[in-house]
Structure 1
């Protein structure tokens, strides 16, 4: 579940610095255009995220890649009004020396530090399918997964009839994501983890109790 947090005592939006001071140590909140969203997740949501985390960590270990999945990470796009907390982010250790904030805070500001982001869709699905697509593409993050296990997204994003869908976004040379909708036995073709042997159904059914 994703809920916008009200700010009754101040009408103006939160800046990133204000957000960091008040909510920086709590990974259940993120900031989008000055508005704070509560990322309190359901149990199935967490099951899906944990399943993906486990599968990708196996790939990292097996291929001895210089990547890791942090327990907590905040991505700060350009500007002063947004700070995103992906459900899962794969970072490149070799790039972190260039990150100005990383030595003291788990904050990423440079897209080349990120290999992959995953968002497990919740009630505020518009952010995952629209705003975050733009932000991650502008940062140059090469791969973005949108995991809609409960088929919450709009028809323009998951089609008709609505059904659980995994959307794989691969960044093209033009700076825009090329999107592929996966369902059922469709195999996930990852540009970051080419040896990954995983189908959409294996990921999406994790949150259905099947």
Structure 2
């Protein structure tokens, strides 16, 4: 949802500093090419994000990894200009945080090397998840990116026809994502968490 449908969003394009002043403390919004987007966190959206967060935390604890999970932390890559992403889920490498210039005072990430995994739960702004973020996260070197389209909102070119709930697992190969599209009882294969034993349906229905 953008300005046209949300009167709370200020008109015009914003710089990162302007966005931070207006929306920096509100995890509902992100900035893409100067345009403010409402992340539309419905109840089902939050259930899917929470399910993945829970599974990731269990694996991180079990394996004793120096990682943490952020939900809608602000990610402003140094070369992103007028963009500041809020991934629904980002798994962060604690050992990289000392290299993050804004982390200590503003909890803002700027480097792709700090992020091990990103997941986006699709809302009506599905073009951002399937196109813009796919390109930017790959360029930043993020090894694994999941697109969780629990309502089957994405374009036909991404999820097929007829549209169905779809999990797209994007794995970085030669700085581009190799995309595996999963539905129903198909079992996932995760580079970040190879021992996860889950199907696409379990994830997209938030374990129900």
Same fold (TM over 0.5): yes
Instruction: Tell whether the 8 Å contact from 1:90 to 1:117 is kept in structure 2 after alignment.
Output: yes
Give the corresponding residue for 1:195: 195
**C-alpha deviation, 1:72, in angstroms:** 4.4
Give the corresponding residue for 2:2: 3
What does 1:99-114 correspond to in 2, within 5 Å?
99-114=100-115
Give the corresponding residue for 1:170: 171
Instruction: Tell whether the 8 Å contact from 1:72 to 1:106 is kept in structure 2 after alignment.
Output: no
Work out the CA distance in 1 between the residues paired with 2:164 and 2:195.
Answer: 27
Cα 1:96/1:81, change in 2 over 3 Å: same
Cα RMSD, aligned residues only: 1.4
Per-residue deviation, residues 21-46 of structure 1 (Å, max 9, x unmatched): 11111110100010001113111111
What does 1:124-203 correspond to in 2, within 5 Å?
124-172=125-173, 174-203=174-203
Check if 1:25 corresponds to 2:28. no
Work out the CA distance in 1 between the residues paired with 2:197 and 2:55.
Answer: 9
> Following TM superposition, where does structure 1 have runs of at least 4 consecutive aligned residues deviating by more than 2 angstroms?
2-8
**C-alpha deviation, 1:71, in angstroms:** 4.3
> Which TM-score applies when normalising by structure 1?
0.92
SS in 1 for 2:205: helix
> Which TM-score applies when normalising by structure 2?
0.93
Check if 1:64 corresponds to 2:67. no
Instruction: Tell whether the 8 Å contact from 1:3 to 1:39 is kept in structure 2 after alignment.
Output: no
Give the corresponding residue for 2:48: 48
**C-alpha deviation, 1:55, in angstroms:** 0.7
Bigger relative contact order, structure 1 or 2 (CA pairs below 8 A, ≥6 apart): 1
What does 1:82-101 correspond to in 2, within 5 Å?
82-101=83-102
SS in 1 for 2:50: helix
Work out the CA distance in 1 between the residues paired with 2:111 and 2:101.
Answer: 9
Work out the CA distance in 1 between the residues paired with 2:169 and 2:72.
Answer: 23
Report the number of matched residues: 203
SS in 2 for 1:136: helix
Check if 1:120 corresponds to 2:94. no
Query: 5+ unaligned residues in a row in structure 1: which ranges?
Result: none
**C-alpha deviation, 1:159, in angstroms:** 0.7
Query: 5+ unaligned residues in a row in structure 2: which ranges?
Result: none
